[in-house]
Amino acid sequence: MENIDPSSESQLHIRLITKQEQYAVPDIPYSVPATIDTIGLNTLLNALLKEHSDQHKKQEFDFIVNGELLRVLLVDHLQEYGLSVEDIVTIEYIQRTPPPQPEDALLHDDWISGIQVNGNWILTGCYDNTVNVWSIHGKHQASVSGHTEPVKAVHWLIPEDPSAGFATVSHDLTGVLWHWEPGSKEIHPCIALRGHERPIECLGINTERQRIVTGGWDTHLKVWSSSLEHDTEEPAHKRFKGMSSRVPLFTLLGHKEAITSVQWIDTNEVCTVSMDHTIRLWDMELCGLKNEIMGQKAFLGASWSPLSKSLITCSADTRIRLYDPRSVEGTICKTTFVSHTLWVTAVAWAQHDEHLFMSGGYDESVKLWDTRSPKAPLYELSGHEGKVLCVDWSNPKHLVSGGTDNSVHIFKNKKTT
């Protein structure tokens, strides 16, 4: 391949394409300087759109070359990937994701270790053993202290229906199913999940089958019913803290260290990641292990995207990795994302876009990523003054994070389509 001196006036021929038809330009070759960058391409594209329509208002675009967002000079990008500078270069363009705007910081009394949004409500779990409900606009709505140790994970039972209740798990070895009526200041415990032998770290919920999975330091994956209906009428002396107690439907063994994240991949399949450096896929119908994937380091968290059919994981080596756990060809780890400087503790896919996810880590930073830009995040979301322990993007309009500075930060996402 011919090398081009970036200081020269050499020209390249490009072809501009897009899936966003409202921003389409004529599908013909354009001659541009080899040293053009995203600023130059934006100038060219907006000029072409202006020629096409006098009503066009200037837009910011990102450009994809060979499956990756352009972040350097076009000629440098082509040479890095060994692409020919003599052929016509196809460049796909997309409307740029605008930077999320900080909206609020919700102050708690202790570290926030679990968080999830459901519509206009934020659910948090804390190291002071409390579970809290806030409005998305920053008003504290309700609080309850049903656990006796830190609450490590929280999860609404049904997306977009906070009245269906929620589940929490704790280092006190129990999970609890709760009922809360939106707008109420009272949270009522319904059922205690009892069976783990050591602190519980994580939970996942399958709304289709009304199943909860939990994992923790006893290395056991346990499966429960998520129904708020009492299983049986128990004698008073068998009740747990005034609640009906429930045992797991079944337990799956195999991990050798703590399970740090559980993710439902589909109706009958669960993915777990662990400090034992493995990812495991479990069959919930056959109650057994389907596959095991070896990783490089201890996994601290994970998130599954039904849109991209991909799993992102975070580890103690500052790296975020994207896996295709069902891949049968080539490497299962498809991409590694590099930017955090300390342990990455939490990741969460956007629910509205197959390419976007967020992360948080011990370096006090929250980052917004596009999977097509592994070497740098799209944006760094500042505000935390302590380690970030949890992040969530369940509501497309809001990114939320919590950590050891006792605060939840809310960032407004301007683009949700």
Q: Over the stretch 39-92, which tens digit does the pLDDT of each residue have?
A: 999 999 999 999 988 788 999 999 999 999 999 999 999 999 888 888 999 999
pLDDT at 2: 46
Across all residues in the chain, what is the average pLDDT? 93
Cα(386)–Cα(406) distance, integer angstroms: 8
CA count, 13 A, side-chain hemisphere, 306: 11
pLDDT above 70 as % of the chain: 94
Domains in the chain (CATH in brackets) are: 11-95 (3.10.20.90), 101-412 (2.130.10.10)
Q: How confident is the model at residue 150 (pLDDT cuts 50, 70, 90)?
A: very high
CA–CA distances in Å: residue 341 to residues 89, 226, 301, 322, 399: 35, 38, 17, 18, 21
Q: Is the pLDDT of residue 26 over 80?
A: yes
pLDDT above 90 as % of the chain: 85
pTM: 0.92
Q: Is the pLDDT of residue 9 over 80?
A: no
Q: How confident is the model at residue 237 (pLDDT cuts 50, 70, 90)?
A: very low
pLDDT at 1: 40
Q: Is the pLDDT of residue 4 over 80?
A: no
CA–CA distances in Å: residue 278 to residues 112, 156, 260, 281, 398: 26, 27, 11, 10, 31
pLDDT at 296: 84
The strand ranges marked E within 145-243 are 151-156, 166-170, 174-180, 187-194, 200-206, 211-216, 221-225
Q: How confident is the model at residue 414 (pLDDT cuts 50, 70, 90)?
A: confident
**352 and 414 Cβ atoms separated by less than 8 Å:** no
CA–CA distances in Å: residue 174 to residues 149, 153, 200: 10, 11, 7
